[in-house]
Structure 1
Amino acid sequence: MPKQEGQKSKLLTLLRILEQKTDEEHLLNVPQLVELLEQQDILAERKSIYSDIDTLRSLGYDIQLRRGRGGGYWLASRTFELSELKLLVDAVQASKVVSARTSSKLIHKLEALCSDYEGTQLQRQVYVDGRPKSDSHTLLYSIDALHSAINAGRMVRFRYKDGGTRTVSPWQLAWENGCYYLIAYQDEKEPAGIRNYRVDRMSSVTVLGDARRGKAEFRQFDLPAYLRKHFNMFGGPEYRVTLRCTADLESAMRDRFGKTPLFVPEEDGAYFHFDVPVCVSPQFYGWVCGFGGKVEVTAPAEVRQGLREIAKKLAEMHQ
């Protein structure tokens, strides 16, 4: 009988072989498993492989056997299905705020969750509108620090894109238009209130010992409503805006504003109108113009005037 070397690690090594070298299309029989173990300086008898596989099964691992010619064992169930890993890889690749280097590291780690053969299918390339990915290498550390501060109820200090330093009370993190945003209460300067900051434009995020503030402001805070009325997360004076749209834009308006607004169809059926709260900014005006005349701001007068002024300026620039 050969000396049973490395028996303490044999079970774990066998599991790793099954994880990395097998899937439904790639099976390993007992002699092949013995050979792969020997390549890692672990001697095993064929009979012991059956016992080891039974032990792994008893621990909850779904190891299946296909009998007959070309048959063998494979790990049938994993934490993530291949389709789920592809979806995660696409999300990482598509995110413009995750740097190329960080994307590569994350995808490499995701590859370890499937077989080597399936891992080659995770080398996918997904681009968003041709925009370059961020070169921020500290994003993951910033997000981790902000989560820690939110969970502990502490304030944070960070340097922002303009070179200035901010000290704020973090309450929530949001994902909007491909970017991470911190939703926080700030009272460093007037007016105090709820603000948002792009996380990929932060650096040197530090969790402070001071208890965060803004509890009263966030007691009734509705994040989905906040995101709907801030276009591209830009702020501005809030108005109750009435929008008149052509009938074919109903699904587009639902995608933007959700189920809450009451869409009122007009008599001819060609238009509908509704009221929504909007933080009016140049980004909101740009959104309205982007529909090429299919969306009209009918109220209030101040917002209509602002749209006229922007349209006049654009017309003068393009004469």
Structure 2
Amino acid sequence: MAKGSNQKLKLMYLFKILMENTDETHSISMSDILLKLKDYGITAERKSIYNDLESLRQYGVDIVGVQRDRTYYYNVANRQFELAELKLLVDSVQSAKFLTTKKSNELIKKIEGLASKYEASKLQRQVYVTKRVKTMNESIYYNVDNIHTAIAGNRQIRFQYFQWNIKKKMELRHNGEYYRVSPWALSWDDENYYLVAYDDTEKIIKHFRVDKMLHIEITEDKREGKECFSEFDMAVYARKVFGMYSGKEERVKIHCENALAGVIIDRFGKDIIIVPDGDEHFNVNVNVVVSKQFIHWIMALGDGATIVSPQYVVDDVKEEIKRLCEQYNV
């Protein structure tokens, strides 16, 4: 058998050919396999390909051979990711605000590489990244990597934080002074990526949009706030916090119409205790971080939801209503 320059890579190229050109509904003949190998500078006999196919099967690749007329056709029947799962990954990348358009397209291209060329074309038809609202901070990947490194190394970080001004320019907050915090978790909330950290100066937990962090540096100082995070559950915490805005955590009682049961469960989970109050209403006590965002979430539910206690939260609602009336000259 003649030897091509890439002969030692024959098995790897065979795997590549099968993964790119076959799936559950598309197969390839032995003749086409030999031709495609030849394009890679590899010559082979049919018998050697049969042996290679068997080696791939033993490795765990689900290769199926089916005879049609006098020709055998081969395909990879099952892959690590099903097409529906790849579509879900593409949707997640598309909807992630914290990813730039460029980085989103790069990731989607890599996801397409997990499918055959036929399935990849189906993924391409659902790509609508260019008109999505996306971050403009290309350093997001490095930010996430630095934060994970700091968490793993039990180290504090320092960074600058910015906001957009009316001229659509980056404007550093705190006059450009560096923030110094102890990173403990990352959370994806409302299509944005947030750092959850402990501020030792103010002795509170704070949140920062990862795509608005600049020049992250890992310091030699060990993290603070261990006692706050010793039993920290990110999923439970996310249910309490609205829009990732900080505030005082409080046990709040809400009076709701029965029709809002699904809304309350979707927000706070099935572990809450719903207490019927008459035939058309119920009461529920939930732990929330009280902020204007929480108050406006309640307001958005209309007359179907009313905060009952504690009184200072009820007073905060009244003050916000008063402020809105003044703002709109009601």
Shift of 1:5: 4.8
Q: Give the conservation status (yes or no) of the 8 Å contact 2:256–2:305.
A: yes
Q: Give the conservation status (yes or no) of the 8 Å contact 2:257–2:281.
A: yes
2:312 corresponding residue in structure 1:
302
Q: Give the conservation status (yes or no) of the 8 Å contact 2:23–2:76.
A: yes
Give 1:169's match in structure 2, choosing from 182, 186, 204: 182
Tell me whether 1:224 sits opposite 2:225 in the alignment: no
Distance in 1, Cα, partners of 2:287 & 2:147: 29
Return closer, same or farther for 1:14/1:214 CA change in 2, 3 Å cut-off. Answer: same
The answer for unaligned runs of 5 or more in structure 2 is 163-172
Distance in 1, Cα, partners of 2:19 & 2:145: 30
Which residue identity lines up with residue 125 of structure 1 in the other structure? V
The answer for unaligned runs of 5 or more in structure 1 is none
Counterpart secondary structure, 1:35: helix
When structure 1 is superposed on structure 2, of 164-173 and 308-317 the one drifting more is 308-317
Return closer, same or farther for 1:243/1:156 CA change in 2, 3 Å cut-off. Answer: same
Q: Give the conservation status (yes or no) of the 8 Å contact 2:23–2:78.
A: no
Counterpart secondary structure, 1:80: coil
Tell me whether 1:243 sits opposite 2:254 in the alignment: yes
Pairing of 1:265-304 with structure 2 (within 5 A):
265-267=276-278, 269-304=279-314
Distance in 1, Cα, partners of 2:5 & 2:294: 70
Shift of 1:98: 1.1
When structure 1 is superposed on structure 2, of 116-125 and 257-266 the one drifting more is 257-266
Shift of 1:242: 1.5
Tell me whether 1:26 sits opposite 2:36 in the alignment: no
Tell me whether 1:199 sits opposite 2:210 in the alignment: yes
Distance in 1, Cα, partners of 2:241 & 2:148: 23
Q: Give the conservation status (yes or no) of the 8 Å contact 1:5–1:43.
A: no
Return closer, same or farther for 1:110/1:208 CA change in 2, 3 Å cut-off. Answer: same
Q: Give the conservation status (yes or no) of the 8 Å contact 2:24–2:78.
A: no
Shift of 1:87: 0.7
When structure 1 is superposed on structure 2, of 175-184 and 218-227 the one drifting more is 218-227
TM-score, scaled relative to structure 2: 0.89
Return closer, same or farther for 1:47/1:279 CA change in 2, 3 Å cut-off. Answer: closer
Counterpart secondary structure, 1:309: helix
1:132 corresponding residue in structure 2:
133
Return closer, same or farther for 1:265/1:200 CA change in 2, 3 Å cut-off. Answer: same
Counterpart secondary structure, 1:203: strand
Which residue identity lines up with residue 95 of structure 1 in the other structure? A
Distance in 2, Cα, partners of 1:53 & 1:228: 50
Tell me whether 1:65 sits opposite 2:78 in the alignment: no
Counterpart secondary structure, 2:147: helix
Return closer, same or farther for 1:8/1:131 CA change in 2, 3 Å cut-off. Answer: closer
Identity of aligned residues (%): 39
Pairing of 1:23-172 with structure 2 (within 5 A):
23-69=23-69, 71-123=72-124, 124-125=126-127, 132-161=133-162, 162=173, 163-172=176-185
2:170 corresponding residue in structure 1:
none
Return closer, same or farther for 1:3/1:165 CA change in 2, 3 Å cut-off. Answer: closer
TM-score, scaled relative to structure 1: 0.92
Which residue identity lines up with residue 62 of structure 2 in the other structure? D
Q: Give the conservation status (yes or no) of the 8 Å contact 1:235–1:279.
A: yes
Q: Give the conservation status (yes or no) of the 8 Å contact 1:229–1:278.
A: yes
The root-mean-square deviation of aligned C-alpha atoms, in Å, is 1.9
Shift of 1:6: 2.9
Tell me whether 1:264 sits opposite 2:275 in the alignment: yes
1:312 corresponding residue in structure 2:
322
Distance in 2, Cα, partners of 1:259 & 1:3: 65
Shift of 1:71: 4.7
Which residue identity lines up with residue 24 of structure 2 in the other structure? E
1:215 corresponding residue in structure 2:
226
Q: Give the conservation status (yes or no) of the 8 Å contact 1:186–1:192.
A: yes
Distance in 2, Cα, partners of 1:298 & 1:126: 44
| Number of residue equivalences | 314
Deviations along 1:231-258, one digit per CA (max 9) or x if unpaired, are: 1111123333221111111111111112
Return closer, same or farther for 1:225/1:45 CA change in 2, 3 Å cut-off. Answer: closer
Which residue identity lines up with residue 30 of structure 2 in the other structure? V
Counterpart secondary structure, 1:233: coil
